[in-house]
Amino acid sequence: MNLLFTSLSARKVAPKPSCGGCPMKAVIGRFAVITLAANIAAPSAIAGGYPVECYEHIQRAPVYGTVTERVELYPATTDVRISAPIIGTRERVTRLSPETVGVRVVPAQYRTIRERYVLEPAKVVQRRLPPRTEARYRKELVPGGYKWEWRVINGRKVLCKIKLPARYRTVVERVPVGPDRVVRQKVAATYGYREKVIEITPERRERYVIPARYASETEQVVLRPKIVQEIPIGPAYRTITRKVLVRPGEDAYQRVALPNRCKS
């Protein structure tokens, strides 16, 4: 042990300042730990021995820093928006048949009138007139007789046989005075009436126009077609600050000053 310590002191091999945790430093650190442990374990009363350099073991904490960076929240996309078509209706008129010319028969028109006609024409007739007469009066005996009649006697209605006495009555007779005579007499015509149908206007044919026939129907029309819009949406970013390790923690040794022996 003394030989190892002497060799280290003679060569003045000491740990160098930290280089950021390189592997060589770790090896030298472990070697220095072994050497220092050997020196401490050796009695200080070894002949002619005293410490030339002294080191103490320290734990260096890791060093952190902050880094500001921009990160992407989501990538660029395309938003597709579809607007449904707008459907409306409209009235459409279609022709069912064209305009034509037709012919129709207008029947004759008639009227009923009252017509007078001769039943017997006028004429002259001869008539034989009886002779002139005159009234002559004479008395005529009416013999008596019986008749039956109802009478009321003492408040009772009874049928009685009545005796009629004979009587005279005056009788008027027409007695011709002169001979017969012939006279001529004019007889007027005799007329009658009857109904008669007469034609006012004759039958005729006339032309007329048959208008065209139309029909109205409702149909659907597209007022606005379907619209497909592609709207690009850019990516979204956000600036974040995160903690990063600048230097990791390590085991190290630093030189300590020994009074009257070592100078730092």
Residue with tokens 């103490």: 56
pLDDT at 4 over 60: no
pLDDT at 159 over 60: yes
E-assigned strand segments in the chain: 54-60, 63-74, 77-83, 86-97, 100-106, 109-120, 123-129, 133-142, 145-153, 156-164, 167-176, 181-187, 190-201, 204-210, 213-224, 227-233, 236-247, 250-256
Query: At 31, is the pLDDT very low, low, confident or very high (cuts 50, 70, 90)?
Result: very low
In a domain, 69, yes or no: no
Check whether residue 203 and residue 122 sit in a common domain: yes
pTM over 0.75: no
Dist. CA 53–CA 35, nearest whole Å: 12
Check whether residue 109 and residue 205 sit in a common domain: yes
In terms of pLDDT, which residue wins out, 170 or 7?
170
What count of Cα atoms within 13 Å lies in the side-chain half-sphere of residue 64? 6
pLDDT at 160 over 90: no
Tens of pLDDT along 78-102?
Answer: 988 898 999 988 888 888 889 999 9
Check whether residue 207 and residue 109 sit in a common domain: yes
Domain of residue 28: give its range. 2-63+248-256
Tens of pLDDT along 210-246?
Answer: 999 999 888 888 888 999 998 898 888 899 998 988 8
In a domain, 232, yes or no: no
Check whether residue 28 and residue 113 sit in a common domain: no
Q: Hey, is 32 helix, strand or coil?
A: helix
- The residues that bridge with 146 in the sheet, in sequence order, are 163
* pLDDT value, residue 12: 38
In a domain, 88, yes or no: no
In a domain, 236, yes or no: no
Instruction: Tally the domains of the chain.
Output: 2
Check whether residue 207 and residue 108 sit in a common domain: yes
